[in-house]
Structure 1
Amino acid sequence: MKKILVASTALVAASMLSTGAASASEKIKLELGGFSKWWVVGAWQDDSYQANNNGTAGAQGDYNSVDIKGDNEIFFSGSTTLDNGMQVGINVELEAGGTTDNTADTIDKSNVFIAGGFGKVILGSEANGTVLLHVMAPDAAGNTDSDGLLTGGLAIAKPDAVQTQVVTSIDTDGDSEGVTYVAPTFYGLTLGASYKPNSTQDNRGATNISTNSGVTAGEIYGVGGLYTNTFSGVDFKLSGGWATYDVNSPAYSTPSKGQGVNEYAFGTQIGYAGFTVGGSYRKINAEGVAGFLQGDTWDAGVQYASGPYAVSFVYFNSQAEGSITTAGEDEFTVYQVSGKYTLGAGVDVLATVGHAEYSDETNLQQNENKGWMVATGLSLQF
C-alpha cells in the first residue's frame, strides 16, 4: 500500500514536469466558507446514573435539563490553475466557537492538493480516503456521527466505563496528517487510498511506531470506493472501505510487529420520489490484540424530502468488547426523529427528538445511562 501511494505521488510529480511550464497566472486567493449551527437542547438523564455519577458510587450528579450546544467552523480555501492545466489548492478549517467535541484543536483540518486528469492528491490533515467516500444513513438535520447531539454523547452523558464507537466510518486516524489519492470517477465508480504515518493529529515530532506509551494505532493504510448512479429514476449509492494498522501497547515486547488490526466499512443509500433509505456498517477486527477496542457499529434510516421540508428516522447501534476483561459487551443505542425546514439559501431550522442508552458489560447502574432529548436549532451555511 505504501509503495502504491509513493508511486502515485511520483507519477503526479512526473506529469507536472512533463506537461510544460507550470507557472500560474496569479497567486492563490483565499475564499471564506463554513457553517454555524446552534441548538437549544432539553435532555433528561437516568436518575440512577445521576445518583451515582460517572461510575463513582455515592457521588451525586445533576445534569442540566436545558443546555445550549454549538458547532461552528470557518473554511479558508483557494486554488489556481497552472499553465499546464493542473489545479493546485489549499483548504484550512478553523474551529469557530461552540466546540462540541471538548477538544482544544483550533485548526480542524489543513491540507494542500493537486488535481488534474490523473485525479486528486491531498497532502496534510484531512479525513482518510475511506471516510471521504463513506455513505451512511440519511438524517434530515445532519444530527448524527461524532457531532450528533445523541450519537456524539453531547446530550445524554456517556459513562466512562462504556467503550463503543460513535461513527460507522473508519475514523481511527481522525484528521491526522497523511497523503490521500482520489482517482477520477469512471462510470460512477470513485476509488481512494490513504497512508497515515501516525494516528495522532498535529504530530510534528519524529514518528516512533514502537513507542510503548499506551494502546495506540501506528501506521495506517486504507483503500475505499464509492459507486453512484441512477437507474430509471432511482438514485443509488454504495460505498466500501478497508484499513489496516499495527497497535502499540505496553503489553507487547515488539509492539509494532504482528499485532494487526483490520477495519471494514460499508454503506448504501437508495432514493426515489423524495424518499431515501440507507444504512452503514463498520467492523473492527482486533482478535488477539490485548486491550484494543473491537466490535460492530451500524445504522439504518429513512428520509422524506419535499420542497423546503425534510423528515427522517435513524436507528444507531454499537457493540464493543476487548477494553474490559469482564465477559460481555458494552452497547450504545440511539433512535431519533429529525426534521429540517429551509428558510432560504443556506438557512435551515432543525429539530430532533430521540433516545439514547448506554449499557456496560459489568451491569452496574453507575456505569450505565439512558435518557430522552428534544432539541431545536438554526443552521447557517456560508
Structure 2
Amino acid sequence: MKKHLLSTSAIALGVAAAAPASAQEWNLDWGGFMSQHVAWVDASGTALPAGSDYDGVDTHNNSEIIFSPSITLDNGLTFGVNIQMEGNNNGGGATGIDESYMTISGDTLGRIEIGNENSAGYKSMVAAPGVTSMYINSPSISTFMPNTAAGLGFGFRGAMASAYTEVGRNNDVNRISYYTPDFNGLTLGISYASRGNVNAGNTFSVNKNAVLSDIFDIGAYYSQTFGTTSVTIGARYGTGDTPVAGFSDPEIWAIGAQVGFADFTVGGHFAQDDNGAPNGAGDQESWSFGATYDAPGAWSFEALYFHGENDNGLPAAGTNDYDAYRIGASRDLGPGVDWDIYAIQAEIDTPGVAGTDVEATIIGTAINLSF
C-alpha cells in the first residue's frame, strides 16, 4: 500500500567480539530525494503587516543527498555512516549538513547510532497518514503560509505544529541511541544527549548549569500485519534537566497509530509538550486524524486534519490555535517518481484576541524524486 510515513522503525544491532576484517569491502551507497512544489496562495489576516501582499504563485524546494556507506565484518557486525547534505539554503547549518552519525548493527542485539541524529522517541512516532509531500503536520507549511507573522508559538519540532517533537526542540543534536531487535513487530529505543542545542556539532565541554542537558528519550514502535489488516503504533516520552530558575524539567509524550484494511488506511496522533515554564506558558499539544485510499492503478488519495495549541500561560492571554485541512492525490509515474496535487486550508490565531489571525488557502502541485 502506497503511503508516506514520517516514522522510522529500528533495525537489528549486534555486539560481539571483534574479528579481523580481511576480505570485506565497503558498500559505498548513496541516495537522496528532491521535491519541487508550485502553489497558488491566497493569504489574509489581521496579524499581517498593513500593506503586505503574500498572494500569488510561489515555489518550494526540499532536497537532500544522503551518503550511507557500510561494511559487514566476518563477525556479523555492520558498521555504517549516514551523512545528510541539505540541497538548499544551507539547511543543516554553515556547512549544509544536518545529520551525521555512525551505526553499529547486527542480527541479535539491535542497533546503535552515535552522532547528530533525531532521538529514538522522534523516530518511533506515527501520525495521520498522507500521500502528498506538502505537510500540514510540520512547520514546512510556512513556506507558503505567513504564519510566523502572528508570533503565536509556531516553531520547529514543537507539538503545536507537529507530532514529531523533541525535548527543547533539540533537533539532530549529538547523541547516542540504542534500538532493540524486532520482536514480532515491536522495536524499543532509548536515546541520550548531553545538551539541547539545535543541530549541534561536537559537544565539547558542557556547563550543565547553563543549558538544557541530560536529555533522555524512549520510544516504542509496533508494526504487524494480520491477514489483510495492518496495524502500526508509535509512542514516545522524553525529558531533560533545565538550569532555569523557576522552571520545572521539560517533558514530552506522544502516541500515534495507523490501521490499514484492504486499500484504506486511517490513523492519527496526540502529542503534548510541557516546557516547564511557570503557569504553563509555551506548553503545546496537538492531534491529527486522516485517511488514505490506494486506488487500483497509479493513484492514491488522502484527506486529513491537524489541530495544534500553544498556551500563553495566563487565562487572559488565551491559547494560540492552529488548524489545517488537506486533501490531495499522488500518482506513481515510475520508480522513485511521484506527482502530487493538493489543496490546503489553514488558520492560526488566538481566539478572542484581536490582531492575531492569519489564514491561507493553498492549491499546489509537486514532483517528488527519490533515488
Q: If the length of structure 1 is used for normalisation, what is the TM-score?
A: 0.84
Q: Which moved more, 1:339-348 or 1:40-49?
A: 40-49
Give the one of 224, 233, 240 matched to 1:229: 224
1:212-251 equivalences under 5 Å are: 217-249=212-244
Is structure 2 residue 295 aligned with structure 1 residue 297?
A: no
In structure 1, how many angstroms separate the alpha carbons of the residues matched to 2:185 and 2:66?
28
Question: Do the aligned residues in 1 keep the contact of 2:272 with 2:286 (CA within 8 Å)?
Answer: yes
In structure 2, how many angstroms separate the alpha carbons of the residues matched to 1:47 and 1:228?
42
In structure 2, how many angstroms separate the alpha carbons of the residues matched to 1:102 and 1:47?
32
Assess, with a 3 A threshold, how the Cα gap between structure 1 residues 194 and 24 changes in structure 2: closer, same or farther: farther
Q: Write out per-residue CA displacement over residues 243-297 of structure 1, whole angstroms, 9 at most, x where no aligned residue.
A: 0112343xx17x7xxx212211100000011100000110123455468521211
Is structure 2 residue 277 aligned with structure 1 residue 282?
A: no
> Displacement of 1:34 after TM fit?
0.4
Give the one of 298, 314, 318 matched to 1:328: 318
Q: What corresponds to 1:370 in structure 2? A: 359
Question: Do the aligned residues in 2 keep the contact of 1:111 with 1:122 (CA within 8 Å)?
Answer: yes
Residue type of the partner of 1:235? S
Residues matched between the structures, number: 347
Give the one of 75, 81, 92 matched to 1:84: 75
Q: Write out per-residue CA displacement over residues 305-352 of structure 1, whole angstroms, 9 at most, x where no aligned residue.
A: 123111101100101114678532111110010210011000010111
CA RMSD after TM alignment:
2.5
Assess, with a 3 A threshold, how the Cα gap between structure 1 residues 217 and 311 changes in structure 2: closer, same or farther: farther
Q: What corresponds to 1:209 in structure 2? A: 208
Residue type of the partner of 1:247? T
SS in 2 for 1:80: strand
Structure 1 gaps of 5+ residues are 1-10, 54-58
Identity of counterpart residues, as a percentage? 25
Q: Which moved more, 1:155-164 or 1:218-227?
A: 155-164
Residue type of the partner of 1:118? L
Q: Which moved more, 1:28-37 or 1:317-326?
A: 317-326
Q: Write out per-residue CA displacement over residues 172-231 of structure 1, whole angstroms, 9 at most, x where no aligned residue.
A: 2211110010100101111011011122122434222222xxxx6433101110111122
1:143-158 equivalences under 5 Å are: 143-144=134-135, 149-150=140-141, 153-158=142-147
Q: If the length of structure 2 is used for normalisation, what is the TM-score?
A: 0.86
SS in 2 for 1:131: helix
In structure 1, how many angstroms separate the alpha carbons of the residues matched to 2:139 and 2:58?
15
In structure 1, how many angstroms separate the alpha carbons of the residues matched to 2:243 and 2:36?
38
Q: Write out per-residue CA displacement over residues 77-119 of structure 1, whole angstroms, 9 at most, x where no aligned residue.
A: 11101111111000010001267x7965610210001001210
